[in-house]
Structure 1
Amino acid sequence: MGDVETMPEGRYIVPALTQGLTLLGLFSRERPALTPPDIARELGLSRATVFRLLHTLETMGYVQREDGDRQYRLGPAVLGRGFAYLASLDLVEVAQPALRRLRDEAGMSSHLAIRDGRDVLYLARFPARSTMASSVQVGTRFPVHGTILGRMLICELSDAELKELFPEATLPRFSEQTPKTLAALKKLLKEDRARGYAVSQSFFERGVSAIAAPVRDNNGTIVAAINVTTVDGSVTQADMSGRFKDLLLDTAREISSHIVSEQNLARTLVTSAGR
């Protein structure tokens, strides 16, 4: 990276943010560790400014001190953001073969989704090979609290996170089964969390049955969810809660294992590059 004069300028540019990101860009495989004087000289900034930048980045985990506090290296937060980005890029590609096989073995439409705020966002879809195929398309959004796919995505959020996500006293309703309040939603989420999956009939859309399960990364964090859907009455509830649930959970574990493998590979590559 060059000196501070090469940083972007404009009325909407935040100088401190630009300086912090440029500072992070100074670290490389060839220079994994830098001292504050090195950074001040490279960026053309005062030592006081560099101290404030480093203190902020260290507090957030983006850099960490070593060698008796004289040098700084990139911290775990940088790697964590990188792994999350790599996982998001690979998620659909990793999941597609498993979702296709799930569709074929279950004879139902299969889907993969992530959470975007208060919405479920569909990233992949394999419609059933029948007239009962799901009409959901990639890019479709549904309310996260109104679907069992969404419930899988938020079932492990803390009370504080749920309160921030749903601050209103009454939640929007989409069917007779939609929870009316955060307390009612929490009750469902507690049951989902204990069960590890969810089964529904007409929970969001009348006439549609579904099973949903979470997909996890190598930290065990839920990063996505998958489901299969069919028309109510086309399969028995015993089968929905039995062999189809087992197929879904096996598929969720398979996708999760691929994500873990991809992230472990990325971690190895990043660690090796920093040596």
Structure 2
Amino acid sequence: MRNRVQHSQRHAPGPDLAEAGEAAVRPEGSGGVQSVDRAVTILEILSQRGEAGVSEVAAEIGVHKSTAFRLLGALEARGLAEQAEDRGKYRLGFGVVRLAAGVAARLDLVQQSRPVCRRLAEEIGETVNIAVARSHYAINLDQVRGQAAVTAYNWVGQPTPLHATSSGKVLLAHLDERRRERLIAAAGLERFTPATVTDAAVLRRQLDEALRRGYAVTAEEYEIGLNAIAAPIRSHEGEVVAAVSASGPAYRFSEERMRELAPVLVAGAADISHRLGHAG
């Protein structure tokens, strides 16, 4: 077994750009990357100053006024910048708020779940993680180590496969069937250990079982010697937005032990859901 005690998880576009703006930000070799870097710098300038004119922006980033105008036009087309009608200067647009909302939601999830994760880690004694689905992976957002998990590997920020981890299976199980099948097909069912499920029919049965009992388990499917159990976390709208898991070495965190602790983890997931506004 690799020396890791993991959580059970491993790995709208805006409106079309105006013609001039599209040319300014489309990455094409090093020039495209430079344009993207300049556009980001402009956003930082507007954030710091509140407002700035084309001449100010051009001087700040060291480009001709026409280039600054095209970049600002591209940002404006995306809603990331807007022009103050009375002064002709530019400021940040509300599109920035839309982008920031995605980060704020994740931060809120971590903040609301952290006290519960600490309690679970203390009660269970193993590593507790929070994960969300991104593309065809589960991404770990937070981790708390239990007393027994002295050498736990830090999985925060790491992508983990949906089909081979307990959190991934929970997240897959609560997708609508069409999206679930699309993700399974796109990701493939890569084998990580002899216990990894690589048969789609078997995986579907496991996902159905996870829905029925309210949690999913994995036994050495992603890491040899590593077992894990996960339960769903719901938003205020009732949608499953994340999973909380507990994981530990198979010799200590056996399948029997996981079944015993399932009610504890499910209750913890419900507590986090309640903190996020879920009334169920």
Partner of 2:153: 137
Partner of 1:149: 167
Partner of 1:234: 257
From 41, 46, 54, the equivalent of 1:27 is 46
Unaligned stretches of 5+ in structure 2? Answer: 1-28, 248-252
Give the Cα–Cα distance (whole angstroms) in 2 for the partners of residues 235 and 209 of structure 1.
8
1:74 aligns with 2:92: yes
The DSSP-based 3-state class of the residue aligned with 1:213 is strand
**Is contact 1:207–1:232 with CA below 8 Å preserved after alignment?**
no
1:1-275 to structure 2, matched below 5 A, reads 14-28=33-47, 31-32=50-51, 34-36=52-54, 39-40=57-58, 43=61, 45-65=63-83, 67=85, 70-82=88-100, 84=102, 95-105=113-123, 107=124, 109-114=126-131, 118=137, 120-121=139-140, 123-127=142-146, 136-139=152-155, 142-153=160-171, 156=175, 163=182, 167=186, 170-172=189-191, 174=193, 178-181=197-200, 197-200=214-217, 202=219, 204=221, 208=227, 210-214=229-233, 222=241, 224-229=242-247, 230-234=253-257, 240=262, 243-253=263-273, 256=276
Higher relative contact order (CA 8 A, sep 6+): 2
CA deviation map 1:74-105 (0-9, x unaligned) = 13443355455566678766644321212344
CA deviation map 1:122-181 (0-9, x unaligned) = 74133366xxx6974323865332112123455559967985785365543646572534
Q: CA deviation at 1:48?
A: 3.5
Give the Cα–Cα distance (whole angstroms) in 1 for the partners of residues 236 and 36 of structure 2.
29
Q: CA deviation at 1:62?
A: 2.0
Give the Cα–Cα distance (whole angstroms) in 2 for the partners of residues 233 and 199 of structure 1.
13
Q: CA deviation at 1:42?
A: 5.2
The count of aligned residue pairs is 236
Give the Cα–Cα distance (whole angstroms) in 2 for the partners of residues 225 and 82 of structure 1.
22
Letter of the aligned partner of 1:148 in structure 2?
Answer: S
TM-score, structure 1 normalization = 0.58
Q: CA deviation at 1:226?
A: 1.4
**Is contact 1:123–1:138 with CA below 8 Å preserved after alignment?**
no
Percent identity over the alignment is 19
Distance change (3 Å), C-alpha of 1:62 and 1:186: farther
Unaligned stretches of 5+ in structure 1? Answer: 1-10, 258-275
Q: CA deviation at 1:231?
A: 2.1
Provide the aligned C-alpha RMSD in A.
4.9
**Is contact 1:109–1:126 with CA below 8 Å preserved after alignment?**
yes
